[in-house]
Amino acid sequence: MLYNLQHIIENAAKSLPDRVAFSCLKKVITYQELDQQANQLAHSLLNNAHLKGDRIGIYMPRCLESVTAVFGILKSGGVYVPLDPFAPAHRTAAIIEDCNIKTLVTIPNQKKRVEGVLKETSQIQLIIGSETISNCSSIAWETIFEEKNSKPLLEILESDLAFILYTSGSTGSPKGIMHTHYSALSLAKIVAHTFDFTQEDIFGNPAPLHFDPSTFGYFVAPLVRAKTVIIPEAYLKMPASLSALIAQEKISVWYSVPLMLIQLLKSNTLTKYDFSHLRWIFFAGEVFIPKHLKALMEIWPQARYCNLYGPAELILCTYYPLEEIPDAHINIPIGKTWANTEFKILNSQGEEVLQGEEGELTIRSATLMQGYWNNPEMTQKCFHQVNIAQGYQHTYYKTGDLVKLSEANELLFLGRNDRQIKLRGYRVELDEVENILLQHPLVEEAAVIAVKDTEEAQKLQASILLRNGKSLQIDELREFCSQFLPSYALPESITIMKDFPRTSSGKIDRKQIANLIDQPQP
């Protein structure tokens, strides 16, 4: 049987029990060990009065324990919520309260951070995987591994929720994208069906769990019985070491944002080691500058390259395998929708555009999320319903991405119809950053724009107006923002202005601000 995510591991444990499922540097776990440890965690959660559908936080950096946490929570009928351990404690606490998390699964070296989060919220009652923390019960991993390792008797349906991914929300608080076992398993099945992966493959997983590309390493790889190498945090900051690790681990399938591949390219190490195992390079999240992609394809000709596309609400939905090295000036298509997926391109009236015309991409797919946690209004707004007959509707997700269809019937990405941007691969709502600035009591108005930093990356510039006659140190405001925003979403510069350029209707003219900031302030 295969209709929920833990079936992937249970089936693999039966057919290939001793095969390594995941590794992280020297630590490895086989399919059977993973299945049994996940059962033990599930029993412990169930013994502690957890009910089906309970949200449970996973609070740890990239490490092997994250895999046991994912499958253990799923086997208990729980919904895992990955929490970025590097996010400000205040933001983490807001997520914990938004989806009512009472239990955190962590690892011992995160103790200080856990304590930081507990200072911001009183909702957590149980910590799993860390030593005793005051005012909170805790269970060590050693105790978990004394539980029985049989499969818990609990029926998990494909329509049950599996995880919630929090992402930037324009109102100033993060929004939770709900995926079911069905939507996530559909993604794994479609990807496995589309590409030629085998159990000999080794997947490199640089994505943190709270970032949807991690579904490749955590679900697609075990579905094809391959091994996933979890890349530890430190390697992502030192491209020359990352390159050595990819060669050493004999990674054959790589999936990351383009920026990481560009950093590898610029490390001057790609001819230094043996990369003959690399078969597939996938990238998504941002436009890959064709010039760099071309250089990469020339230096690693043994691999095949594929552009993937999809908002976290659908995980992924289109793909474009590159058959040849692209011309340095082309816009690399996001390609075609894959199995179990269809699309419409709509104009602002919600009508389908003609072939070749620009419009908003809307997608209907088995991988579509359930909705936004605790926010039916926003869920309603992001869906486009097509009435087929009385009581029968097709639900499309409005991506907010502007596209057109090329003559070869491939989708071309043209931009956004709102103020969401990608910053070094991270999804950021400019309105969220503005709303956080506005929460400071001395800030009257705020405008945040993205400007080109280097050729391949953008940065945020904030401009503010202070309340009448008030003064404020920029450092103080920066400190304020860092309590609420993840580090990648903090403005690179904040400028205090006397007034904003405005449009005739009095709105802030953000385009003009970009020009003004480029010139020195009088």
Partner 1 sequence: MKDKISNYIIHHIAKQKIEAIHADDDLLADGLIDSLGMMKLVAYVEKEAQIKIPPEDLTLENFMTIDHILEYLANHSTT
DSSP letter string, 7-24: HHHHHHHHHSTTSEEEEE
- The binder of partner 1 chosen from 233, 327, 357, 444 (CB under 8 A): 233
**90 part of the interface to partner 1, by CB under 8 A:** no
Residue 174, token pair as written in the block = 């993060």
**204 part of the interface to partner 1, by CB under 8 A:** no
**Three-state DSSP class for residue 26:** coil
**How far, rounded to the nearest angstrom, does the alpha carbon of residue 381 sit from its chain's CA centroid?**
21
- Residues within window 443-482 making contact with partner 1, judged by CB under 8 A: 479, 482
Q: Which stretch binds partner 1 (CB under 8 A): 64-72, 267-275, 302-310, 509-517?
A: 267-275
- Of 107, 101, 56, the C-alpha closest to 77 is 56
**How far, rounded to the nearest angstrom, does the alpha carbon of residue 136 sit from its chain's CA centroid?**
30
Cβ of residue 265: shortest distance to partner 1, in angstroms?
A: 10
Cβ of residue 56: shortest distance to partner 1, in angstroms?
A: 22
Count how many residues are written for the chain: 522
Pick between residue 125 and residue 267 the one whose CB is nearest to partner 1. 267
Cβ of residue 370: shortest distance to partner 1, in angstroms?
A: 30
**244 part of the interface to partner 1, by CB under 8 A:** yes
**How far, rounded to the nearest angstrom, does the alpha carbon of residue 166 sit from its chain's CA centroid?**
8
Cβ of residue 243: shortest distance to partner 1, in angstroms?
A: 9
- The binder of partner 1 chosen from 57, 78, 82, 85 (CB under 8 A): 85
- The binder of partner 1 chosen from 269, 367, 379, 420 (CB under 8 A): 269
- Of 201, 188, 178, 109, the C-alpha closest to 376 is 178
**238 part of the interface to partner 1, by CB under 8 A:** yes
Pick between residue 416 and residue 424 the one whose CB is nearest to partner 1. 424
Residue 173, token pair as written in the block = 């608080």
Pick between residue 268 and residue 380 the one whose CB is nearest to partner 1. 268
Cβ of residue 58: shortest distance to partner 1, in angstroms?
A: 16
**How far, rounded to the nearest angstrom, does the alpha carbon of residue 75 sit from its chain's CA centroid?**
22
**487 part of the interface to partner 1, by CB under 8 A:** yes
**488 part of the interface to partner 1, by CB under 8 A:** yes
**82 part of the interface to partner 1, by CB under 8 A:** no
- x/- map, 398-437, partner 1, by CB under 8 A: --------------------------x-------------
**240 part of the interface to partner 1, by CB under 8 A:** yes
List C-alpha distances in Å: 191 to 72, 184, 260.
24, 11, 22
Rounded (5°) CA angle 391-397-400: 145
Cβ of residue 496: shortest distance to partner 1, in angstroms?
A: 20
d(CA 2, CA 143) in angstroms, rounded, equals 30
d(CA 362, CA 90) in angstroms, rounded, equals 34
Question: DSSP class of residue 78?
Answer: -
Q: What is the residue whose two structure tokens read 């009652």?
A: 125
d(CA 249, CA 247) in angstroms, rounded, equals 6
Q: Which residues of 52-69 are buried (b: 16+ CB within 10 A; e: fewer)?
A: eebbbbbbbbbbbbbbbb
Cβ of residue 62: shortest distance to partner 1, in angstroms?
A: 10
CA dihedral 6, 210, 337, 170 (to 10 degrees): 140
Cβ of residue 487: shortest distance to partner 1, in angstroms?
A: 5
d(CA 185, CA 472) in angstroms, rounded, equals 51
d(CA 108, CA 129) in angstroms, rounded, equals 6
Say how many residues touch partner 1, by CB under 8 A.
25
**294 part of the interface to partner 1, by CB under 8 A:** no
Pick between residue 112 and residue 507 the one whose CB is nearest to partner 1. 112
d(CA 332, CA 81) in angstroms, rounded, equals 33
- x/- map, 46-65, partner 1, by CB under 8 A: ---------------x----
Q: CB of 278 within 8 A of CB of 300?
A: yes
**237 part of the interface to partner 1, by CB under 8 A:** yes
Q: CB of 203 within 8 A of CB of 227?
A: yes
Pick between residue 199 and residue 487 the one whose CB is nearest to partner 1. 487
**239 part of the interface to partner 1, by CB under 8 A:** yes
d(CA 430, CA 123) in angstroms, rounded, equals 30
Q: Which stretch binds partner 1 (CB under 8 A): 28-36, 159-167, 268-276, 281-289?
A: 268-276
Q: Classify strands 55-59 and 103-106 as parallel, antiparallel or unpaired.
A: parallel
- The binder of partner 1 chosen from 59, 80, 182, 235 (CB under 8 A): 235
Q: Which stretch binds partner 1 (CB under 8 A): 163-171, 197-205, 259-267, 289-297?
A: 259-267
Cβ of residue 266: shortest distance to partner 1, in angstroms?
A: 6
Cβ of residue 479: shortest distance to partner 1, in angstroms?
A: 7
Question: DSSP class of residue 216?
Answer: I
Q: Which stretch binds partner 1 (CB under 8 A): 91-99, 239-247, 435-443, 465-473?
A: 239-247
DSSP letter string, 194-250: HS---TT-EEEE-S-TTSTTHHIIIIIHHHTT-EEEEPPHHHHH-HHHHHHHHHHTT
Pick between residue 180 and residue 243 the one whose CB is nearest to partner 1. 243
Cβ of residue 230: shortest distance to partner 1, in angstroms?
A: 14
Q: Which stretch binds partner 1 (CB under 8 A): 148-156, 165-173, 260-268, 292-300?
A: 260-268
d(CA 482, CA 474) in angstroms, rounded, equals 12
Q: Which residues are near partner 1 by CB under 8 A?
A: 61, 85-86, 232-241, 244, 263, 266-269, 272, 424, 479, 482, 487-488
